[in-house]
Chains A and B, each alone.
Chain A
Amino acid sequence: MGNYLLRRLLIALPSLLGISLVLFTVLALAPGDPFEELATNPAVPPEVRLALRAQLGLDDPVWQRYLHWLSSMLQGNWGFSFVSRIDVDTLILQRLPVTIAIVGSAVILGLVVALPVGILAAVKPYSWFDRIASTLAFIGFSLPTFFIGLLFILLFSIELGWLPFVFRADLSETGWRWWIEQFKQSVMPVTVLGMAFAASWMRYVRSSVLDVVRLDYVATARSKGLSERVVILKHATRNALIPVVTLVALQLPQLFGGAIVTEQIFRIPGIGSLLIDAILRNDTPVIMAVTFVLSALVILFNLLADVLYGWLDPRISYR
């Protein structure tokens, strides 16, 4: 097990390096100079600017700059936000918990909906339940997150006035009132995001359970006299989940995309809205760091999926 994890980590590292390389190439190729602000500032004499350039290594060859950037990233020196004047890593650490809480709850909600609905739809394929569920799934992933988010705000915040539509990180309430307020302001973003996940995952679960229930070993389990419940849940579903795990892991990059949009609609102060703000304000260090953190998270979750995969499918041994 330890050996397997180590090997997966060794495969994940080159991907992380590759992504950092891509990110840096984008930065290096991009027109525009991070020093533009200083260059147009009349208070900074040209000599000082040139000295600063040399000191910061902006005139070095590209590969040297890459190595320099990489080593300072590895040392935890992520730079300094131009706009908010604090260290980028502090900024990200402030914003990350909200995003993880929202995305995490949305994933759980998505699975809680997608698994039972997908399994039930597959147990009775082409039944009314299956048809309705599949149609709803199609509608679900054809509705862009931002549109359904706006519709939710329109219905629940403006028409009915039940839920707040601006997410506040600094709730004044304490104790159980805090939890209630927190719940009320999280319901809409988590539902919007979770339903989007559930719509596509439900189809994966359905088709993969459908593939499995026709196999001989399921018939064997039935003929042993096991109850339908045990056959479906213990024998069929566990095997059916193996491809689902991979697909869900492969979708993680899109998942963070959905989080960015949701955070923007509901004004959640998470890492996604940090990225958008940074882009709208030309805050390059924050943009680079946030993108890198999101990539690292994706790779981390892919790693987790691999481990989970091995646990679900003993045929893939931890060699």
Chain B
Amino acid sequence: MAGSTPASATAETQALGRPAAPASLWADAWRRFKHHRLAYWSLWALGLLVLAVLLGPLVYKVGINDVDFKARLAPPSWQHPMGTDDLGRDLLARVLYGGRISLAVGMASMVVAIAVGVTIGAIAGMSRGWVDAFLMWITDLFLSMPQLPMLLVLIFFFRDGLKSLVGPEVGIFVLIVLVIGGFRWMPAARVVRAQFFSLREKEFVEAARALGASTQRQMVRHILPNSLGPVIVAATIDVAAAIILESTLSFLGLGFPPDIPTWGRLLFDAKDYLDIAMHWSLFPGLAIFITVLSISFVGDGLRDALDPRRVL
């Protein structure tokens, strides 16, 4: 498939210097990805953000719960780069800490959603007849459920149970991840099923079948790797959607408990102080916005890059 794209200017200069390595599918995708300027820079922005969130609390050593009543609702200054909240807690520290949780929720929910979606889509795509029909009925059923109300209801009903089982922080994390993942797998399932339907009839799968590969082997070794492109795109979008959903839940007061400052939670606490301390809601909101925007652009770039039929 790599041969379908004509050599670009960069590939030629490479050939002059050292023997050109055979362009792998991934190197090709990377080259196409870099052409998408916005996506490329978004990837950098996202990488910086992840680094800041991971390493920031190690460098910026201000506790998220250090109360300073002398500096309540202080606007941004050198001492508190993002200002403080109503108890005088440093917002930069809280935004950095909240970013860890928001990104972790986004990634974990994506893993859940993709795992469920790929499994269901692969089973539906491989088996014809009533299994496929039933699984697709389930998918349609989940698609026609109002997502946010269901999330709220599930969290409402199961919050206390899980809290007593594994502790408040882990409990609500697991619950939010499972619930968001449980309501985001449908697009992946549909995409994978559609991919399986077309790939199943391709010659290379037929060849594998003729060589005596079992159905399982055909699925795992031959079809699945070839259907990964759209799945990766769907996964990227899922991360962004999960971050927005988590912050929405926290914003409605039904996400993480008050002592865990996720971005949505910070906005929820800040919204009553909008008139006197707008910096409080501005920074967490901007953090969500920048993260989601760069993930969306990366997703858009991946969509272009992972479609080998496209020549860019």
Residues on A lying within 8 angstroms of B by beta carbon are 14-15, 18-19, 22-23, 26-27, 29-32, 135, 138-139, 141-147, 150-151, 153-154, 158, 250, 253-254, 256-257, 260-261, 264-265, 275-276, 279-280, 287-288, 290-291, 294-295, 297-299, 302
Contact = CB atoms under 8 A, between A and B. Distances in A.
Interface string B137-159: 10011011111111011101110
Contacts of B262: none
Interface in B250-276: 251-254, 264, 267, 271, 274-275
B109 interface: no
B84 interface: no
Contacts of A22: 141, 145
B157 A30 contact: yes
A253 B144 contact: yes
A298 B145 contact: yes
B281 interface: yes
Contacts of B244: 144
18 contacts: A15-B141, A18-B141, A26-B154, A31-B157, A139-B293, A142-B296, A144-B248, A153-B274, A154-B281, A250-B143, A253-B147, A254-B147, A254-B148, A256-B146, A276-B253, A280-B254, A291-B146, A299-B144
* Interface SS of A by simple majority: helix
Contacts of A150: 267, 271, 274, 281, 285
Interface of B: 38, 137, 140-141, 143-150, 152-154, 156-158, 160-161, 240, 244, 247-248, 251-254, 264, 267, 271, 274-275, 278, 281, 285, 288-289, 292-293, 296-297, 300
* Interface SS of B by simple majority: helix
Given A142-B292, A150-B271, A158-B275, A15 B153 contact: no
A66 to B, nearest CB: 16
B144 A19 contact: yes
The 8 closest A-B pairs by CB, nearest first: A257-B148, A30-B157, A31-B161, A142-B293, A147-B285, A142-B292, A294-B146, A253-B146
Given A19-B141, A31-B160, A138-B296, 4 more contacts: A32-B157, A144-B288, A256-B149, A279-B152
A95 to B, nearest CB: 14
A170 B64 CA distance: 43
A257 B150 CA distance: 10
A31 B158 contact: yes
B120 to A, nearest CB: 16
Nearest to A260: B148
A202 to B, nearest CB: 14
Contacts of A32: 157, 160-161
Given A15-B141, A31-B158, A276-B252, A147 B267 contact: yes
Contacts of B156: 279, 287
A142 B237 CA distance: 11
A164 B115 CA distance: 46
A204 B148 CA distance: 23
A261 B251 contact: yes
Interface centre among B145, B253, B288 (most CB of A within 10 A): B145
A319 B49 CA distance: 55
B185 to A, nearest CB: 14
